[in-house]
Amino acid sequence: DAGVIQSPRHEVTEMGQEVTLRCKPISGHDYLFWYRQTMMRGLELLIYFNNNVPIDDSGMPEDRFSAKMPNASFSTLKIQPSEPRDSAVYFCASSPRGGAVTGELFFGEGSRLTVL
C-alpha cells in the first residue's frame, strides 16, 4: 500500500492567499484526521472524519479553516485567507476501524506551510 498521501509537501504563500491541502487516506481506512504541528503547541487535532462524515471539528482554530471529505479516498483542508500564524506542518492521518483498540494512526509525510 502507498500509505497516506499528502500534497503539496511544501507551500509558501503570502498572507491573504487561499491555501488548499490535500490528502488521500489508506484504502479501507474509515477514519481520517487532520493535525497541525508547531514547536510551540505540538501536535494538535483540527478535525476528524468517520466514513466521510465530520465528527469533531472543535480543534479548527477559526472560520478561516474548513475541511471536506467528498469521498472515502480524498480530503481537503482549506485556509482562506491565510495568515503568518498559520505557518506549521499539517499532517493527515488515517486509521482502520481496528485502530480503536491499538490506537494506531497512519500519518502522511505532512505539508509544510509557510505564510509570509
Q: Which is nearer to other proteins, 45 or 81 (CB)?
A: 45
In the set 34, 65, 90, 91, which binds other proteins (CB under 8 A)?
A: 91
We find the least distance from the C-beta atom of residue 104 to other proteins, in angstroms, to be 5
Residues 20-39 that bind other proteins (CB under 8 A): 31, 33
For 20, the grid coordinates are 488548499
Question: Which residues bind to other proteins, rule: CB under 8 A?
Answer: 31, 33, 41-43, 45, 48, 56, 91, 100-105, 107-110
